[in-house]
Amino acid sequence: MAKKTVQVPSERKKRTPRYRSFRLSKPIPVEPYGNIPPAKVLWKDTWQFIWKNKKQFLIFWLIYTVLYLIVVKGISGFKFDAVNLKVAMDEVIAGHLSNLLQALAQYASLISSITATTSDISNYTQITALIIFSLAFIRLLRSLHSKRHPGTVKLAFYEGMRPLIPFVLVIAVMLLELIPAGFGLFVLYTAQGASVVTTDPELLGIAVIAVLLLAISLYLLSGSIFSLYIVTIKKMQPIQSLRISMRLLHLHRWIVFRRLIMLIIFLLLVGFLLTIPVLAWVPQYTEQIFFVLVCGAFAVIHTYMYKLYRILIA
């Protein structure tokens, strides 16, 4: 006699609410993501992690600095004159705060001289170096946070290049997200330069449109920034990583954006303070020493962002 098979009813799942663009919807309760700490706590955790793994970080810092100097910057690429910066800094230290803006302007020129290239080939080499070393360092961070895989710089360069194509595709999508900001700035500069706008209200209106387009680009970028780290996971597709990043940040994107702004402020402030003793002792080597510090900031930025990413997925 044949036995009757009993069908077990499948478990019904409640459809989760979702936000839809340009549609009115009820407020959705915040999902239990990890508690995002203040920027100063993230900054402290970043430096504690770097100090704990200082051997791997120093090796990577040395490799990145030497190769970037040889391949991109060039030995003769240091042409910044630190005399004006030293004079402005001496005036500020002496109590003449009116020269602070001049010192900040010279400091901005020092930063731009570090990232400046001399030819189109150097530009392509710079972008290639940033992509390769970003992949290697993200792999190093992932292995240092894992207890099963050894965190060595050699393995980071070997295994970190596997998601190269997905990583480049994610960067291409993020560049497309900058189109609204670029279009807004283009319209603003064109209106000012070609004297198309004749009255202040018209110029103000174009400026408001440019700011709104810039806000759209920032909104899109703040939702896809973590896809750079998600796409490095094994068998992860670029579109899938972008969707996961959007889902992680759809309620916390402005908080993460503020943490990123604070990171930039911290780095600029630390660099500005470290420039003071350099100008006092060895002003002729200001640009070279600052170049080494900027190469170290590359690791600090990725470590800070990876820490923030792990907090959200915890």
Give the predicted TM-score (pTM) of the model.
0.86
Rounded CA gap, 43 and 56, in Å?
A: 19
Average pLDDT over residues 187-201: 76
DSSP letters, 110-147, are HHHHHH--SSHHHHHHHHHHHHHHHHHHHHHHHHHH-S
* Rounded average pLDDT over 12-29: 62
Which amino acid appears at position 99 of this protein?
A: N
3-state secondary structure 67-112: HHHHHHHCCCCCCCCCHHHHHHHHHHHCCCHHHHHHHHHHHHHHHH
Interval 82-97 mean pLDDT: 88
Residue 34 banded pLDDT, cuts 50, 70, 90? low
pLDDT of residue 20: 64
Chain mean pLDDT for the chain: 87
Residue 16 tokens read as: 């989760």
- Mean pLDDT (whole number) for 261-288: 94
Is the pLDDT score of 261 beyond 70? yes
pLDDT for the residue numbered 22: 59
pLDDT value for 6: 54
CB 209 within 8 Å of CB 252: no
For residue 3, what pLDDT is reported? 55
pLDDT tens digits, 219-260: 999 899 999 999 999 999 999 999 999 998 887 888 999 999
The predicted-structure confidence for 37-69, as pLDDT tens digits, reads as follows: 999 999 999 999 999 999 999 999 999 999 999
Give the list of residues 6+ apart from residue 251 with CB closer than 8 angstroms, or none.
Answer: 28, 30, 31, 33
Q: Which amino acid is at 165?
A: I
pLDDT range class, residue 35, cuts 50, 70, 90: confident
Region 20-28 average pLDDT: 63
266-269, Cβ contacts within 8 angstroms, sequence gap of 24 or more: 266/39, 266/43, 267/297, 267/300, 267/301
Q: For 144-171, write each residue's pLDDT tens digit.
A: 998 776 778 999 999 999 999 999 999 9
CB-based contacts of 69, cutoff 8 Å, min separation 6: 75, 291
Between 59 and 31, name the one with better pLDDT: 59
DSSP 250: T
* Structure tokens belonging to residue 161: 């290049």
Amino acid at 8: V
Confidence (pLDDT) at 81: 87
Q: Cα(44)–Cα(42) distance, rounded to whole angstroms? A: 5
Q: What pLDDT is attached to residue 49? A: 96
Please work out, in degrees rounded to the nearest 5, the angle formed at the alpha carbon of residue 34 by the alpha carbons of 239 and 152. Answer: 70
Of 153, 155, 158, 218, the C-alpha closest to 185 is 218
Kindly write down the DSSP assignment for every residue of 254-278, as one continuous string. Answer: HHHHHHHHHHHHHHHHHHHHHHHHH
Q: pLDDT higher for 20 or 128? A: 128
Tell me the two tokens of residue 81: 């004159």
Q: Quick one: pLDDT band at residue 193, thresholds 50, 70, 90?
A: confident
pLDDT the model gives residue 200: 75
